[in-house]
Structure 1
Amino acid sequence: MAGYLVFDIEITDPEAWQHYREVAGPVMAASGGEFLVQSAGIEPLEGGWHPASLSVVAFPSAEAARAFYHSDAYQALLPLREAAAISRGVLVTGA
C-alpha cells in the first residue's frame, strides 16, 4: 500500500527554502519519494482551512515514507526546513 507525506507549508524565508529543496530533494528521491503535488494555487472550499501551500510526496509504501522521514539523512535536514518555513505534515496510507 502506498504511503504519502502531505505537508501544509508556509514559507517564511524563500532563499533558505530553495536551499532546503535543493538538498532534501535528492535524499527524498533516493528513498523512493516522488512529488505528486507542489501547489501553485489553493482555493479553500470548506472547513476554514487556508494552507499557504501543499506538497504531496508518494512513496512505494507507508513503511518507505516513514523510513525516509525518520532517516538520519533527512533528520539532519529538518533544521533547514524549520528555518525556512512553518510546516505541518501527516503520513497518509492509501491504495
Structure 2
Amino acid sequence: MPALVLVEVSIHNPELYEEYKKHTLQTIQQYGGKFVVRGAATESLEGNWNPERLVILQFPDVATAKNWWASPEYSAIKTIRYEAANSKMLVVESV
C-alpha cells in the first residue's frame, strides 16, 4: 500500500536550503518515490496551521519510505536540511 511522507519546513538559511533541494530528487527516485507537493502555497481551512513550506512525498510503501529516510544517500544530505531549516516529518500509509 502506498505511503506518504509529510514534511513541514521552516527555513532559516534559504541559500543552504536551495543546496539541499538540488540533491533530494535523486535519492527519492532511487527508492521509487516522487514529489506530490513541493513547497506549493497552503491555505488553512481549520485550526492554526500555516506551514512556511509543505512537502509531500509518495513511496511504494511505508517500509520503502523509511528505508529512503535512513539510507546512506539521503543521510548524507539531510544534514544540510538540519543546518538550513527546522522540520517535522511523518510517514503515513495511504489508501
TM-score (norm 1): 0.91
Matches within 5 A, 1:6-45: 6-45=6-45
Q: What fraction of aligned residue pairs are identical, expressed as a percent?
A: 29
Q: Aligned-pair RMSD on alpha carbons?
A: 1.1
Runs of 5+ consecutive residues of structure 2 not aligned to the other structure = none
Q: How many residues align?
A: 95
Residue 44 of structure 1: CA displacement?
1.3
- Provide Cα deviations, 1:9-35, integer angstroms capped at 9, x if missing partner: 112111111110111221111111100
- Provide Cα deviations, 1:40-66, integer angstroms capped at 9, x if missing partner: 211112121121111000001111101
Runs of 5+ consecutive residues of structure 1 not aligned to the other structure = none
Matched, 1:57 2:31: no
Distance 2:19 2:46 in 1: 33
TM-score (norm 2): 0.91
Residue 79 of structure 1: CA displacement?
1.2
Which amino acid counterpart does residue 16 of structure 2 have in structure 1?
A: A
Distance 2:45 2:6 in 1: 18
The 4+ residue runs of structure 1 with deviation greater than 6 A are none
Which amino acid counterpart does residue 7 of structure 2 have in structure 1?
A: F
Residue 46 of structure 2 aligns to a residue whose secondary structure is: coil
Aligned to 1:47: 47
Aligned to 1:3: 3
